[in-house]
A and B are shown apart, each in its own frame.
Chain A
Amino acid sequence: MRTAGTEMIAQRAFRRLLQAMSRPGRVFALPPAAVDGRWGPMLTLLESLLDHEVSFAVIGDEGPQGLGPLIAERTRSRVAPPREADFLIVAGGDSGGEILRARRGTLQYPDASATVVYRVQSLLLAEGNGPRVTLSGPGIRKEIRLGEIRGLAPGELGRLREANAEFPLGVDAVFIDDAGRILCIPRSTRIRLLEG
């Protein structure tokens, strides 16, 4: 059901997502969700992007009451196997290695690749407790130290790095927390995992 103002919320959500994708590693806030419940921020984000022309797969979903049916209902997007999906929704912050098998595009059409959306508990600006990871590349002035991503499986950033080792092939990652904060790591970002 579309309600008055849904399109405006989608437009606002996308603008923030665009800011986040063009400034990797920085945390931005989505507009307040149009829907209540734990999936509110995720659905707000997906409603600005998904429709019947694209497909999605949910990894780590929690059965019939989980995220998949909600996304299908609200966006009219099709369910597809993770290896074929345009959007890979990682519901629990752990892809179990699926992102390594996701579509990375072809050299002629690198855009024919998956976008990965991780739902995490919280994105914090505070450094120190976070993963010892620095990011550099387009959108980042020099280098940025990644803040804490609570609820992201250890090793997931390493996998993302592996999936994006052959630019321009790769996947673009969006992290979204339960408070509607987002952070992006597109394939153009170099991920450096620090020792120790």
Chain B
Amino acid sequence: MTLSEWINRKRHDGGAGRLDYNYAFLDEVSKREIRRKILKAVAIPGYQVPFGSRELPVARGWGTGGIQITLSIVLPEDILKVIDQGCDASVNAVNIKRFVNVVTGVQITTDTREATLIQTRHRIPEEPMTERQILVLQVPYPEALREVEPSEAVTRRMHAEADYSRMWLFLYEDIVQFNEITIGYRYPVTVNGRYIMDPSPIPRWDIPKLHMAETLYLFGAGREKRIYAIPPYTSVVPLEFEDYRFRVEDFQGRACERCGATDTYLDEIIDDVSGRRLWFCSDTGYCDKRCRR
């Protein structure tokens, strides 16, 4: 038997995914624990639920938190999209979708509108999502207060008491030093008026999409062993002062070099040959769609 034959062996009973693993790779006990923690996360928006992160055939820090959530909920009829920094074709995204496809038989897409389940790192797609979709974010550092407090025991107590004064002080000092809030990504938000939460390393551009969204957002940190969530129609407010407001990145005067978009989050690329600064849509699926029009 060749390697590719072995990898592509399908179940005899008509079930989806590979024959020699449980459906969706994880064993049932692991999936049940992750499912219980996902439910708690949804019931307590913004609160980080500890979970027993499992070993996967991917190194921790490469999206294992997101993968474990995806594997615990994915159905064979789902249509899966995986993106990394907005890109469907990066090594991380391609490997994750191939893995999930092999162990579940799920269909793959690059089209945000077509997808029912989207796993992502660093971006929320440009196109608005709907009630029938779930977005799973891979999170490296789930603790929003880690910048101001290194101890987990202390940050947990701060969350328990809703004592966020040091986070506000951090923003204040930032303003004193730079005359504005300089946090570029992992911008802290208040969820449901209670917990301060790290929205993962999405750009500020994507933060407003979290507020009162139609879509369920699930966050998984594999290395840090935390799951948290923002249910649909939940208030998500970035931290700001009345006279120093939260604002998104400014791309005024720029346009995507490929599709010409002026209303998307753009990545700055320096051309190797000419040394010129170029701008491209970070969401490649959306950019491709615009190019095909």
Contacts and interface: CB of A to CB of B under 8 A. Distances in A.
Give chain B's interface secondary structure class. Answer: mixed
Given A11-B73, A138-B45, A186-B42, A111 B37 contact: yes
Interface stretch (A47-55, A66-74, A89-97, A175-183): A47-55
A23 B22 CA distance: 30
A115 B36 CA distance: 9
A107 B33 contact: no
How many of chain A's residues touch chain B, expressed as a range?
Answer: 35 or more
Contacts of A167: 194
A32 B22 CA distance: 21
B231 A49 contact: no
A113 B49 CA distance: 12
A15 B73 contact: yes
Contacts of A44: none
Contacts of A54: 36
Contact of B32 (A48, A106, A107, A187): A48
B15 A186 contact: no
B44 A140 contact: no
Contacts of B75: 11-12, 15
How many of chain B's residues touch chain A, expressed as a range?
Answer: 35 or more
Given A50-B32, A187-B43, A188-B43, A108 B157 contact: yes
A21 interface: yes
Contacts of B157: 108
B100 interface: no
Interface string B32-63: 11011111111111010110000000000000
A140 B39 CA distance: 16
B73 A139 contact: no
Contacts of A48: 32, 35
A50 to B, nearest CB: 7
Interface stretch (A1-9, A56-64, A122-130, A154-162): A1-9
A108 B160 contact: yes
A113 to B, nearest CB: 8
B33 A138 contact: no
A188 B43 CA distance: 6
A186 B47 CA distance: 14
A101 interface: no
B73 A53 contact: no
A53 B231 contact: no
Interface in A126-150: 137-141
B29 to A, nearest CB: 5
Contact of A21 (B43, B72, B161, B194): B43
B13 A49 contact: no
Interface of A: 4-5, 7-8, 10-12, 14-15, 17-18, 21-23, 48-54, 106-108, 110-111, 113, 115, 137-141, 167-168, 172, 186-188
Interface of B: 13, 15, 22-24, 28-29, 31-33, 35-45, 47, 49-50, 72-76, 131, 134, 156-157, 159-161, 192, 194-195, 216, 229, 231-235
A21 B39 contact: yes
Nearest to B27: A7
Contacts of A140: 233
Give chain A's interface secondary structure class. Answer: loop
Given A7-B23, A18-B42, A111-B44, 11 more contacts: A10-B32, A18-B216, A53-B33, A108-B159, A110-B44, A111-B40, A115-B36, A138-B231, A138-B234, A139-B231, A188-B192
Contact of A17 (B39, B40, B159, B232): B39
B175 to A, nearest CB: 30
A14 B35 contact: yes
Contacts of B31: 7, 10-11, 14
Contacts of A187: 43-44
Contacts of A172: 39-40, 43
B47 A4 contact: no
A11 B29 contact: no
**9 shortest interchain CB distances as A-B pairs:** A186-B43, A107-B160, A138-B234, A111-B40, A139-B231, A172-B43, A22-B231, A138-B231, A108-B160
Contacts of B22: 7
A186 B229 CA distance: 13
A14 B39 CA distance: 9
A53 B159 CA distance: 27
8 contacts: A10-B32, A108-B157, A108-B159, A111-B41, A138-B45, A139-B233, A139-B234, A168-B195
